[in-house]
Structure 1
Amino acid sequence: MFNPSRCLFNCSAHDSYTFQINPASGDHPGHLDDFKFIGRCLGLAIFHRRFSEAYFVVSLYKMILQKEVALADLECINAEIYSRMIWILENDMTNVIGVTFTTTEEQFGNTVTIELKPGGARIPVTEKNKREYVKCAIDYYISKQVKEQFDAFMSGFNDLIPQNLITIFDEHELDLLINGMSNIDVKDWQTFTEYQGYKLTDEVIQWFWKCVSGWTPERKCRLLQLATGSSRVPINGFQDLQGSDGPKQFIICRSDDPSQLPKGNPRFNRIDLPWYKDYATLEHKLTLAVAGTTEPGTLPTHL
């Protein structure tokens, strides 16, 4: 599946062992038949309860489950485009000219302009419509750019696994269903962890490792997914953990708002951990973050 000579998948923007569908796979004859075959193989593996070690980006799992993708999912696909979308959302577009509902990409050696919506080349991006523009970009780069390949993959997958049976899972559970759980050595994890704003001897850090050490393998994997985007531990352990620009160790970074949940940042293999007042609060907040839930009265951030 992942042999570079087949051109079916690319490495994610974060590491060298999580994969996404290659939009340029059409350079390889018969690529759609290959994707249908791969879908059947994964479906067959799930049916027989065998693990595949097919580590995909989170957005691909969401697409399999027919779940809505979000801006955060774009970061694993194209870090440069993700950064551009963040800039547009955080800055006033009133006096910015030359940005329209289009994007450019290389196709067979030529640069082509793609309209993100009908007539997009004639629609300037303004402060009023910039969120729509970002939504269109997310949809294009995550879904539309690989629609043919994904549809072929799902055709094979659904030959074995009916869609109504798979949608009971969330994207993290589907990852574990396909790949199984890594055997996570917490002592190794702790050995190759860096701290920003914290020291190893800080009470919050001691509470963190105490909490993680007592967790089930599944919950440990979900914490790793939250912080790195993948539940996989490299063959040589955490010393070989990869980031978007090469080797990057796991990082625990101090956040000073104890009302917030810990927040993962897969681009930097980092979790932002507030300075909680006691162990019970840390355990509660970290469990909620790993479960992908929110505190009562708060809403998840989506576009």
Structure 2
Amino acid sequence: MRRPFCAPSMWLAPYIAATEGEDSGCGTGQMTSLLLLPFGTRPPPPITDFSAPAVVRALVNRINTGESSYEVEEGGTSSQQAVRSGVSPNKLASLLLAAPHCVPFPQRVEVFRALIAADKYHNNNVPVIRLTVNRSSLLGEAYGHLAQAGPAIKARLEVTYLNAQGLQEAGLDYGGLMKDFIEDVIHDGFNPDYGLFAATREGQLHPGSQAVHMDQGPGLLEFIGMMVGKAMYEGMLVDLPLAPFFILRLQGRRPLFDDLQMLDEEIYRSLVTLKQYEGNCADLGLDFTIEEEIFGRREVVELVADGARLPVTKANRLQYVALVADWYLNGGTRGAAASAFAQGLGQVIPLSWLSLFSPKELNEVIGGGTAGELDLDDMRRHTRYSGGYSEASSPVKLFWKVLHQFSSRDRAALLKFVTSCSRAPLGGFEYMNPPFVIHKVPCPAPLMATIAGPDVDRLPSASTCYNTLKLPNFRRASTMREKLLYAIHSGAGFELS
């Protein structure tokens, strides 16, 4: 016999809340009736301001006041396109709160960007943070300067680099050095060789089992989380594929048994075998404990009170399997490490905002996920030219020809050389601000340089603050390829500029 434990309308409540409101002019009953009408006979929806800022105003209003509906402010900018749609900003805000994945991913990204823009507007008076760091000890020095910054890290960072000789590198920080600094700190922190993070077989990153026991481990984890939040806050993409079970922890959700397979295939298979074991489980000699290794020292952890005296039997083996999986995914040192990282990230990006996305989508928001290949057609379509160059200029044509011949690694290095970030903006180069620019650097060369003889000998340089590649007017593709590869892989920091 089936008994109703919930109100009949419970499962429709999020949908009804997302589709009714003052602007609909009808109550719940009338709205439900309209939904039952054939599409061709329904009244047309109103013209609506469906821009991301309008949705954010509705979303923030609902979070702050708990109201079920309100009037959206009038008078948006000319870029806010009014579209004939079946939803309004008020309704989309309801849907984002109740079931975010019912809203298309690009629209959720726009809302996420608008939330950050609104936060920047309210924090525009935070003083600039100035710091001087040496590239050879970047992570340690960055941690020393910024570990206690807290939410003030949202301010602009003004970075001065020292080279290997202890001399100040050439380059003024109008944004480019900051981007370079953030990406390099994150890269160093997530390097598995450092010990804070480990990688799955698929190369996805998560806190290492020994991270919290390292010297300053919890503090470094919190700091790295803060820097990842800073990258997201600044609209940067970093090559940082996070493990889905780690992302679930950041979103305030709890990874489950099947997530253990990605973390440790051997333990997962052992637990599956135990679940299906046909014999007497008591013969296996298991109890409700597990061994944790901390830098070569083994410690016994009890999964339940007095677990060392509780044998695993056929009656309680499912409880044992669940507790072991939960300990590896959510407890022990990994759980503490994930909590420290989340605490740092949450100082910049409210963790509730991460729930707008699935783990796979959040990887795209952070770093483009696995889709790291640059779209050269999109890049070319949104590139601007200055100093006398145009799309029809011979050196420009040579540049695009050479870039098509580059490997994926070389293309990413070129983008980092020019913009301080090795990934294209989420959504394409349309969202790069300032846009990618190729600027002409006129250099003399013999008339026959296009076919023989010496070509232009100057190296390309970049103004990362303005995403500008300063490209000499090379005459031959071979010369351009050689000079570009030397410049982008020289590791000379900003000295070439």
Moved more, 143-152 or 129-138: 143-152
Q: Find the aligned partners of 2:226 and 2:344 in 1 and give their Cα distance.
A: 4
The change in CA–CA distance for 1:183 and 1:18 in structure 2 (over 3 A counts) is: closer
Q: Find the aligned partners of 2:214 and 2:297 in 1 and give their Cα distance.
A: 18
Alignment of 1:1-303 (within 5 A): 1-12=189-200, 14-15=201-202, 17-92=203-278, 94-97=280-283, 98-145=285-332, 146-183=334-371
SS state at 2:280 partner: coil
TM-score (norm 2): 0.35
| Greater relative CO (CA pairs within 8 A, separation 6+) | 1
Task: In structure 1, give the amino acid aligned to 2:216.
Answer: G
Alpha-carbon contact 2:212-2:336 (below 8 Å) kept: no
Task: In structure 2, give the amino acid aligned to 1:124.
Answer: P
Task: For structure 1, list consecutive stretches of 5 or more residues without a partner in the other structure.
Answer: 186-233, 237-303
Q: Find the aligned partners of 2:194 and 2:287 in 1 and give their Cα distance.
A: 35
SS state at 2:347 partner: helix
Alpha-carbon contact 1:37-1:156 (below 8 Å) kept: yes
Task: For structure 2, list consecutive stretches of 5 or more residues without a partner in the other structure.
Answer: 1-188, 374-407, 411-497
Displacement, 1:26?
Answer: 3.7
The change in CA–CA distance for 1:180 and 1:72 in structure 2 (over 3 A counts) is: same
Displacement, 1:181?
Answer: 4.3
Aligned length: 186
Q: Find the aligned partners of 1:81 and 1:235 in 2 and give their Cα distance.
A: 35
RMSD: 2.2
Q: Find the aligned partners of 1:183 and 1:68 in 2 and give their Cα distance.
A: 27
Displacement, 1:99?
Answer: 0.9
Residues 74-113 of structure 1 deviation map (CA, whole Å, 9 limit, x = unaligned):
1121111111111011113534431111111322322222
Task: In structure 2, give the amino acid aligned to 1:70.
Answer: L
Which of 1 and 2 has greater Rg? 2
Residues 23-57 of structure 1 deviation map (CA, whole Å, 9 limit, x = unaligned):
21245311111111111111122222221211121
TM-score (norm 1): 0.56
Q: Find the aligned partners of 2:255 and 2:340 in 1 and give their Cα distance.
A: 20
The change in CA–CA distance for 1:28 and 1:61 in structure 2 (over 3 A counts) is: same
SS state at 1:86 partner: helix
The change in CA–CA distance for 1:101 and 1:180 in structure 2 (over 3 A counts) is: same
Displacement, 1:184?
Answer: 7.6
SS state at 1:111 partner: strand
Task: In structure 2, give the amino acid aligned to 1:89.
Answer: K
Alpha-carbon contact 1:93-1:125 (below 8 Å) kept: no
Alpha-carbon contact 1:9-1:20 (below 8 Å) kept: yes
Q: Percent identity?
A: 24
Residues 263-282 of structure 1 deviation map (CA, whole Å, 9 limit, x = unaligned):
xxxxxxxxxxxxxxxxxxxx
Alpha-carbon contact 2:239-2:367 (below 8 Å) kept: yes
